[in-house]
Amino acid sequence: MEEIKTLLEEYLNDSLYQMVISGPCAREGKKETKGHSLHQPAQKRKVRPLLQKNELLFQVSSYDKSQVFHENLTKEEAIEALAEDTLRHFSQIQIEGKEKGASVLVSKKGKVTLKRKIHKDAEKRQGADLSHNRTKRYLLKEGIPVPFLVDLGVQTPQGKVVASRYDKFRQINRFLEFIADVLPALPTDRPVHIVDFGCGKSYLTFALYYYLHELQGRSLRVTGLDRKADVIAACNGLAQKYGYEGLRFLQGEIADYEQDGPVDLVVTLHACDTATDYALYQAMK
């Protein structure tokens, strides 16, 4: 049990891609402890890191013949539950991490054989698997911490992209590429005004401001608008914290937005129901 726990302690972090526990095999006689017990029975379990409210958790997906059940555990809960579960019910674990992996075989009698592998081409794998080799071309670079990305849980304070938030990091960068493409069409003789309708938690609105103002040094105003008062209050708090004077957030309906001066660019992403229609209507106006 201790060997498996030590291994889980080492591999359960934000560099984990996936852990698969498989090969169901009943091994009675192993004592059940009082820790967290996983959904039973399962043919296979998969584990991946998950960031929830800034806390790193591990999602265990348990597959039986026709269904999948998901449970989110802390690292400590996951170590206890998975080590015991493997020894009682499974014969192998495959672990794939960014830089290293491991495999564990458990014999019928419970003997544990462990093999570790370090990926020699770890960097290449990371590029290929997580970002289709586009890491170097991103407008916001991995390794350079951006305050809002750290606060929103996409980067660590050291600038490392949290594995479970890589899709968000890629989405933000892709969005900035669209912005970079339309930049030549925006006026340069006065501050531009950009409005983001249905900005939500405002990953993209902050990215826009950071990219254009902090990185490009452009003079601009950015307005994020959303109907959710609590989200808007949190976003205004963050903008104030970073000293982003040209960035403000308004609470309201897109249909009711009243412009205070010319708007040069309207963005709206993933807005729901009729929100996109109203955003298009406002953009036309």
Give 161's Cβ-side CA count (13 Å radius).
21
Residues in 209-228 at the binding interface with ligand SAM, rule: CB under 6 A: 226-228
Q: Quick one: 84 or 226, whose CB is closer to ligand SAM?
A: 226
d(CA 49, CA 59): 6
Q: Does 19 bind ligand SAM (CB under 6 A)?
A: no
271 makes contact with ligand SAM (CB under 6 A) = yes
The reply on whether position 134 binds ligand SAM by CB under 6 A is no
- The amino acid at residue 248 is R
Q: How far is the CB of 269 from ligand SAM (least distance, A)?
A: 4
Under the binding rule (CB under 6 A), the answer on residue 97 touching ligand SAM is no
Q: What are phi and psi of 150, to 5 degrees?
A: -70, -45
How far is it, in rounded angstroms, from Cα 42 to Cα 85? 10
Backbone angles phi, psi at 273, to 5 degrees: 50, -120
Distance between CA atoms of residues 117 and 140, nearest Å: 31
Determine the Cα–Cα distance for residues 86 and 92; give it in Å rounded to an integer: 8
Considering only the stretches 44-52, 95-103, 121-129, 267-275, report the one whose residues sit in contact with ligand SAM under the rule CB under 6 A.
267-275
Q: Is 70 an interacting residue with respect to ligand SAM (CB under 6 A)? A: no
Smallest distance, ligand SAM to C-beta of residue 152, A: 10
Does residue 114 touch ligand SAM according to CB under 6 A? no
Q: Give the shortest CB-267-to-ligand SAM separation in angstroms.
A: 8
Compute the least distance from the CB of residue 135 to ligand SAM, in Å.
Answer: 22
Q: Which of 67, 108, 111, 272 binds ligand SAM (CB under 6 A)?
A: 272
Burial grade of 35 (CB within 10 A; 0-12, 13-18, 19 or more): middle
Residue nearer to ligand SAM on the CB measure, 183 or 231? 231
Amino acid found at 220: L
